[in-house]
Amino acid sequence: MQIQIESEIGILEGVILHSPGTEVENMTPESAKRALYSDILNLNVATSEYSQLEGVLNKITKTFQVQTLLKDVLTIDKVRNSLITKICDYEDANSIKDYLIDLKEDELSRQLIQGVEMKKDNLTKFLDKERYVLQPLHNFFFTRDASVAMFDTVLISKMANRVRERESLIMETIFNYHPNFNARTINPLNYENYRSNISMEGGDILIARHDVLIIGISSRTTSQGIDYIIEHFKNKKQKLHIIAQELPYSPESFIHLDMTFTFLDKNYCMVYEPLILNSSRYLTIHIEIDNGKVIKIYEEKNIIDALNKIDFEIKPLFCGSKGDVNLQEREQWHSGANFFAFAPGKVIGYGRNTNTIEELNKNGFEVLKAIDIINGIVLPENVKKCVVTIEGAELSRGGGGCRCMTMPVNRKNVEW
């Protein structure tokens, strides 16, 4: 499959998922804090909810599972040895390098994601309070973050927190070596001017159109990270608009831009109104690149205004409905603005955000239940516009929504 993403809404041809496993169940209150969670999740409930997202996507597109892809590339000796070496060096775990090399690829792929338990075979290890030599990747079911398909290239994220760097290493290995993908990767760690303050994560990067990127400046994506992305486009001849949106560093529900702004259709987007439209504290900055050079950088009123000025007419719909700040705050907290489009005007989100779903319905989006699609009772292709609702009482407590849990690799081009 050729990597090709030129919009957030084009018909979905392929997407990478990771079904939550025991790496979620093995979370404790202490490890949850370290893993950037505010609570621990019930795996049985989270798995049941996640199966609705996966089940719908299996019906409408080609899906790939991270652990299966990883197992496939680990059959290549040089890839296996290289990835183990990188992980052990980065996480100061060279004591288990030989142990990992001896594992079969299915078991190795499992342990690289679900964690490698420490063998308490000497006094120091016996006294060590850690359970794992390699910690479980509690966040990996948010596959959006560790890599981003950006036009015909995969950007390997430089994660803001060390606990998630292994996710990026795994995704880079998959895209570089798996025969399922024709992929070219770029990684800021290989950048000759790399600096430690460069970071970017996929939840902050939206491919609006073939010539428009919208990127959040957040606790996870720095201005230096955006400058790295700009540098990548300096060898391109096309004109490109990058709209950068500042975000609060707290509360945690503002972790990425897609928690406050996502695309729904060619002319509709979902916004968290208090931040995207009504805030004067957080800047919206427009960067114009032409023929490989930055020609303008200037402030805009907001993202909507900036898009409309470049012939990208877009109407905002409101997370939690318009005007009621209490409802907006409540539903944004539970990923009410975080929708994933699988075709123009066809999106998936949490059904628990009832006011947001009603807002969509009032604007022509038919409400379909995921379970009805999975059971063949309704077909998304039979409706013009729809919002597919999945249960999300447990998944939303992980701090992300349907866009966070999907990493698209190919979409059909949109006729604008």
Query: CB–CB of 120/114 below 8 Å?
Result: no
Q: How far apart are CA 201 and CA 187, in angstroms?
A: 12
Q: How far apart are CA 94 and CA 169, in angstroms?
A: 16
Inside any domain, residue 357: yes
**334 vs 123, 168, 260, CA distance in Å?**
45, 26, 11
Inside any domain, residue 214: yes
pLDDT for 121 equals 85
Helix or strand or coil: residue 153? strand
Q: What is the residue range of 352's domain?
A: 12-411
Per-residue pLDDT of the chain (416 residues; tens, 9 = 90+): 999 999 999 999 999 999 999 998 877 777 666 665 667 788 999 999 999 999 999 999 999 999 999 999 999 999 999 999 999 999 999 999 999 999 999 999 999 999 999 898 888 888 888 889 999 999 999 999 999 999 999 999 999 998 899 999 999 999 999 999 999 999 999 988 899 999 999 999 999 999 999 999 999 999 999 999 999 988 778 899 999 999 998 888 899 999 999 999 999 999 999 999 998 899 999 999 998 899 999 999 999 999 999 999 999 999 998 888 999 999 999 999 999 999 999 999 999 999 999 999 999 999 999 999 999 999 999 999 999 999 998 998 888 999 999 999 999 999 98
Inside any domain, residue 47: yes
Instruction: Outline where 212-264 has alpha helix (H).
Output: 223-232
Give CA angle at 227 (262, 234), nearest 5°: 100
Inside any domain, residue 5: no
User: What is the domain-level CATH number for residue 61?
Assistant: 3.75.10.10
Contacts of 339 (CB under 8 A, 6+ apart): 262, 264, 270, 347, 348, 349, 387, 401, 402, 403
Long-range interactions of 166-169: CB distance < 8 A, separation 24+: 166/87, 166/90, 166/91, 166/112, 166/134, 166/137, 167/137, 167/139, 167/140, 169/83, 169/86, 169/87, 169/90
Total structural domains within the chain = 1
Which tokens is 322 given? 């318009």
Inside any domain, residue 330: yes
pLDDT for 326 equals 94
Inside any domain, residue 183: yes
Inside any domain, residue 1: no
Inside any domain, residue 313: yes
